[in-house]
Structure 1
């Protein structure tokens, strides 16, 4: 009889502890590496990176050239994990003085209607772990999520309809954007071109 109670208690514990753990959001599709391209097509432009916010390998280093498809989102929806080309909030004076660029690139981490929080270097979307390479903090040459050195946010960021939240892949270099309206996202990064000097 005692064995029966122990078995029932163990089953109840497993069921109840499972209720507190929300299933992770897993992105097994997005890859960090971009395809190397020989040239761009007529509906594409190039963007020269001027910072190390996305840098984990040569293709995203400062002075690397990315290829942007300006028509991509005319037929596709913006997805989590996409590296997008977006209009910044830089003022004309900042752009003309070359202090900031009018456009930049970053990765989509949160979608319209979602809530984002970062705890010890781990992104949570609606209270669920974002289980992918861009869902945790990377520092110079390794992940530091779960450590005291990792980033934590004091409060959640709530996205309204039509808003997206973008982040660099190396948070301490580029960080997170404010919630960004869809019309500021003007293209998708689809590849990169090696410098002609190499």
Structure 2
């Protein structure tokens, strides 16, 4: 065994010390760990949040106030504009036939349903009412004073004060159609708002005798699709029709003689290949029917051919002059007078065609806008 000298032992201890000596990086980490200050922890105090809580409460209150004010600002008193208004029940969903008349400061509600007078004491009331969707409508017949009507959007609310007071809301779903909060539907004879209108003071409602020349030809026509109560276009009553080929463009209101689209004839071979209809929508316009009324680009077409008619009669006139025994289905007839059609865009070089008596003929509601090139002539009148 080798003996170590004192120098060898001293050198060994020195080497052992160097092995355990920390590096500069280790020294820096130890220094940071021992001498870096800990972050200060704030104590929570409720008082410090009070200003923020108060601000939130104020903002919330202001928001609620604005919401209420905005809601109320959308409500308008329209009582004056309803003076003289008449609402007639059109739906058969309840055992009532209400008529609401607004005159001055009084509102009169009448129930013109006569079914109860034919009911004997033996009739089971529950069984009788079972056929109706609405068993107990909300309105009570009578005369009420000092009513008000408020409008908010398409909703109209009737308010009657006093011991017999009540409120009743009606929602407009057509230009002249309203639905009560109980589901009973009504129609009016006048429009509830004043939309912009398009008029036609040029087109005559009745055909007159027209001259003939090298640009005209005669038509024999037998359909009543254009009948306005005088068999206007029917040859067996007024002779042949005169059609002119001398036109550069067609105009609104003109009755035209055209080729019926093949798609219609394919569905019904009995439809004539040549047909007559009236130009209602022009190229670039949008045609829509709401509640039986034609609208062009959102404007009401205020003409004799701008709404649903039967032999020239509108809804009110028709039911006034037609005996109830001659009306096979009142609800279906009223639905016709209040029909809807989605907006239709009239493309370039096409026109939108309607017959005068909508329920008796084919037109653009069936086949869409008609290419102008399919028109052979414009009806100018009847031959002498």
Which band: TM-score by shorter chain?
0.7 to 0.9
Moved more, 154-163 or 82-91: 82-91
TM-score (ref. length: structure 1)? 0.74
Question: Which has more radius of gyration?
Answer: 2
RMSD of aligned residue pairs (Cα, Å): 3.0
2:278 to 100, 107, 111: 107
Per the TM alignment, residue 193 of structure 1 is displaced from its structure 2 partner at its CA by: 2.6
> How big is the shift at 1:144?
1.9
Distance 2:215 2:202 in 1: 25
CA contact (8 A) 2:283 2:350 kept: yes
User: Runs of at least 4 residues of structure 1 off by over 6 A?
Assistant: none
SS of residue in 2 equivalent to 1:156: strand
**Which of 66, 70, 83 is the matching residue for 2:241?**
66
Matches for 1:122-141 after TM superposition, within 5 Å: 122-140=293-311
Cα drift, residue 99 of structure 1: 2.7
The answer for unaligned runs of 5 or more in structure 2 is 1-72, 79-152, 154-192, 317-333
Measured after TM superposition, the shift of residue 50 of structure 1 is: 2.8
Taking structure 2 as the reference length, the TM-score comes to: 0.40
Q: Is the 8 A contact 1:84 1:189 kept in 2?
A: yes
Superposition deviation, residue 154 in structure 1: 4.3
For 2:278 and 2:341, the matched residues in 1 are separated by: 22
1:90 CA drift (Å): 4.0
**Structure 1 equivalent of residue 383 of structure 2:** 193
Could you say what secondary structure the match of 1:183 adopts?
helix
Contact 2:235 2:241 in 1 (8 A): no
After superposition, the C-alpha distances for 1:58-108 in whole angstroms (9 at most, x for unaligned) are 43126452100112x13xx211001111111248x98xxx83322211110
C-alpha offsets along residues 109-145 of structure 1, whole Å, 9 cap, x if unaligned?
0011111111121101111100000001111351128
Partner residue of 2:260 out of 78, 81, 88:
88
Match of 1:50 among 222, 225, 228: 222
Residue 172 of structure 1 aligns to a residue whose secondary structure is helix
Q: Which of 373, 378, 382 is equivalent to 1:183?
A: 373
Contact 1:59/1:192 (CA < 8 Å) preserved in 2? no
The structure-2 alpha-carbon separation of the partners of 1:185 and 1:102, relative to structure 1 and needing over 3 Å to count, comes to same
Q: Show the 5 A alignment for 1:11-30.
A: 22-30=195-203
Which residue of structure 2 lines up, in the alignment, with residue 5 of structure 1? none
Distance 1:175 1:189 in 2: 18
Any idea what the Cα deviations from partners look like across 1:175-196, whole Å, max 9, x if unmatched? 43220111112211111136xx
- More helix by percentage: 2
Residue equivalent to 2:105: none
Supply the distance in 1 between the matched residues of 2:212 and 2:276 (Cα, whole angstroms): 17
Say yes or no: does 1:144 pair with 2:334.
no
Q: Contact 1:52/1:62 (CA < 8 Å) preserved in 2?
A: no
Count residues with an aligned counterpart: 172
Contact 2:244 2:377 in 1 (8 A): yes
